[in-house]
Amino acid sequence: MALNLSRLSDYFQCDGYKGYRLVYSPQDGVTCVSLCSEGYCHNGGQCQHLPDGPQCSCASFTIYTSWGEHCEHLSVKLGAFFGILFGALGALLLLGILVFVICHFCGCSMNKFSYPLDSELY
């Protein structure tokens, strides 16, 4: 008599830990599999199967931090955001000062390109 997985669950149970589920494969037969082995945590979170069920420990990246029950949300760290913002503003300020100094001391005067007001146009 052929039995399907729902029928086999009457005879085999995954006792001891919550969140395990019964899986059948031709190589291993009927086994209990944790949700951790099936991609329970996202964004590099580490899964740990505790007696109460699977739990994710979220990982932090260089400028991002993940959060949520399954580490499904990503947020930019505040310090990294301000570092990028003020770094970019500082670079623009230095570039502006450099252009001003070059134009001022190397003869890029605006007088060369201006026309006298008292000249007549023909």
Q: Which residue has the higher pLDDT, 88 or 61?
A: 88
Q: How confident is the model at residue 96 (pLDDT cuts 50, 70, 90)?
A: very high
Q: Mean pLDDT score of the chain, rounded to an integer?
A: 81
- Tens digit of pLDDT for each residue in 32-71? 888 888 889 998 899 998 888 889 999 888 788 889 999 9
Contact 100, 108 (CB under 8 A): no
User: Domain check: are 71 and 96 in the same one?
Assistant: no
- How many domains does the chain contain in total? 2
CA distance 57 to 73: 13
Give phi and psi for 59, each to the nearest 5.
Answer: -100, 150
User: Domain check: are 87 and 67 in the same one?
Assistant: no
User: Domain check: are 46 and 87 in the same one?
Assistant: no
CA distance 99 to 86: 20
Amino acid, res. 53: G
Residues spanned by the domain of 100: 80-113
User: Domain check: are 68 and 97 in the same one?
Assistant: no
Residue 40 belongs to some domain of the structure: yes
Residue 118 belongs to some domain of the structure: no
User: Domain check: are 51 and 98 in the same one?
Assistant: no
Give phi and psi for 96, each to the nearest 5.
Answer: -65, -40
Residue 122 belongs to some domain of the structure: no
